[in-house]
Structure formats: structure tokens, C-alpha cells
Amino acid sequence: MEVSKPTVQIDYFGSMKQLKLLLISVLLFGACAEAPDRNCTDFRTGSFSFSQKIDGAEQTTLFSRTTNLQIEEFNGKTDSATVRWINDCEYILTTINPKSAQEKRPVHIKILTTTDSSYTFEFNIVGESEKLRGTAIKTN
């Protein structure tokens, strides 16, 4: 008497359908996730502080911004720049009286997230790919 071995059939197409359904579900779930809350218009104007480490020492910049002008104080020096809003969360700063070729280059700033009293932003010199991040705190 010969014993027959059970045969196993694999339904590759059924498995592929299940895999596709799973991938589509994951993509849809990810697409439905809420973006971070950004109330950028709350930070268009006002007075702010921004701290960063430079050569191992904490340095603070104070700045005031109106809808089209920003005045900064850093290490006892005051600088002014025009503000051109691209949209509610992005703007371009251009130094009014640049003292060097580097200061002539505009800076692009994008607000990424906001809280009730601060915003996190990324910035770069227009035309350069390197982006830095910081957090500005509204002081009034």
C-alpha cells in the first residue's frame, strides 16, 4: 500500500492581494495622520529671543518683527532686515545694510511647529541646501 503525501497549494495571488491590501491600509493610515498644529500667524509680529551654542558658549539673539521689518540685537550689534512673507509659515529675511557679501544673501525661514509661546523653525541661506533648526520664544 502506497501512502500519498498531502499536497499543499500556495495561493500566491491571494497572498499578493492580502499584501497589497495591507500596504494600502498602512499608506492610508499614514496619510490620515494629522500634521502638527501650526499657528504661524501668531508669530508674524512681536518680540522674540533665540539661543544657540556658538563655540561652546550659549549666545542669545533678541529680535522684534513687524509685518515687513525685523530688527535684531546680537553681541551688542543691531541689524535690520526686510521681511517678505511667502505664505503664513515661511518668509525671507534680507539685510538692509549688509557689511559683507555673506550678509547680502537672503535667509529663508520656515516655521515647522508652534506652541502658545514659541515656534520651531528651520532656516538656510537662499540657494544653499544646508538647513539649521532653532526655537524662538515670544517675549511679548
- Taking alpha carbons only, the member of 102, 112, 114 closest to residue 122 is 112
- The grid cell for 34 is 494629522
Tell me whether strands 69-74 and 118-125 are parallel, antiparallel or unpaired: unpaired
Mean pLDDT of 28-53: 78
CA distance 92 to 65: 12
At residue 27 the predicted structure's pLDDT band, cuts being 50, 70 and 90, is: low
Burial 88-102 (b: 16+ CB within 10 A, else e): ebebebbbeeeeeee
Mean pLDDT of 67-88: 94
Q: For 8-18, write each residue's pLDDT tens digit.
A: 555 545 555 66
Percent of the chain with pLDDT over 90: 54
pTM of this prediction?
Answer: 0.71
At residue 54 the predicted structure's pLDDT band, cuts being 50, 70 and 90, is: confident
Cβ–Cβ under 8 Å, residues 120 and 135 = yes
At residue 29 the predicted structure's pLDDT band, cuts being 50, 70 and 90, is: low
Backbone Cα Rg of the chain: 26
Backbone angles phi, psi at 84, to 5 degrees: -125, 110
Note the pLDDT of residue 84.
97
Lowest-pLDDT choice from 28-32, 37-41, 54-58, 98-102: 28-32
- The three state secondary structure string of 14-37 is HHHHHHHHHHHHHHHHHHHCCCCC
Which comes out higher in pLDDT, residue 28 or 102?
A: 102
